[in-house]
Homo-oligomer: A and B are copies of this chain.
Amino acid sequence: MSNKKKPKYEKIADELRERILNGGYNVEEAMPDEIQLAEEFEVSRMTMKRALEILVLEGIIYRQRGQGTFILPSSFSQGRINVLNKESQGLTKLLGERAVRSEVLQFEVRFPEAEVARHLMIEKTDPVYEIRRVRYVDDEPYVIEHTFMPSSLITGVTREVLDSSIYRYIQEELGYTITSSHKMIRADKPNQWDHEYLGNEETDPVIEVEQVVFLGNGKPFEYSFSRHRYDKFVFTSVHIGR
């Protein structure tokens, strides 16, 4: 399959991760040292280091100079391996089972302001979609999304697409991969839209996620602001190692 393109260090990391989670090594004592492992897998020491580095970053093992490499028991107790900083998956996939519905408030094509063009790395003369949606989960208003996308990159968006899932369209119809995102999370006072669509009172804060999302080729395709009710949204972030 796609196995052949994986570099050695990833394949070794996969194998070791498997062994560790299946109890292949004693949690109490050190794992074999990197020289032994390099010999076993018939790679150089540097390559083995790189494989082990992945597991360190995943929070599965812990290495200490002069002592050895140890398994971190918390990687079991946390109920599975920690997938790093969560999703760039989109809301629809994120919530899985639950009923997600969208109401489109705005959908047009226009020229971007300087700020939008800058974040999307496009010219001010490149048109963008501007989209506002309210998204409901189990018929409760969950978030107001205000989104900009370059229309030359994300082509053929229709109201029908907006009614369901943009991300699914981008990945399945357009065949792009979504790989990274930059988020800024802040609190804010509610504005008129929040009041109207999220049902916020004057004193109910909102939490806003501003983000730029990138495709596999490094091009940003989404610049958006998502505003949530303070009492219905928590942003979770796991950071491991250095």
Contacts and interface: CB of A to CB of B under 8 A. Distances in A.
A28 to B, nearest CB: 9
A175 interface: no
Interface in A220-242: 220, 230, 233-242
Interface stretch (A67-75, A97-105, A138-146, A149-157): A67-75
A200 to B, nearest CB: 11
Nearest to A229: B187
Interface stretch (A32-40, A81-89, A164-172): A81-89
A218 B180 contact: no
A182 interface: yes
Contacts of A183: 236-239
A1 interface: no
A73 B119 contact: yes
B180 A230 contact: no
Nearest to A181: B239
A12 interface: no
A235 B179 contact: no
A187 B85 CA distance: 17
A111 interface: no
Interface stretch (A18-26, A124-132, A205-213): A205-213
Contacts of A118: 73
A186 interface: yes
A85 B211 CA distance: 14
Could you say which of A70, A121, A202 has the most chain B C-beta atoms within 10 Å of its C-beta?
A121
B233 A74 contact: no
A72 B223 CA distance: 13
A86 B185 contact: no
Interface string A53-70: 000000100101000001
A148 interface: no
B184 A234 contact: yes
A2 interface: no
A119 B74 contact: yes
14 contacts: A59-B182, A74-B212, A77-B184, A84-B239, A179-B240, A180-B240, A183-B238, A183-B239, A184-B235, A185-B207, A187-B187, A187-B207, A189-B203, A189-B204
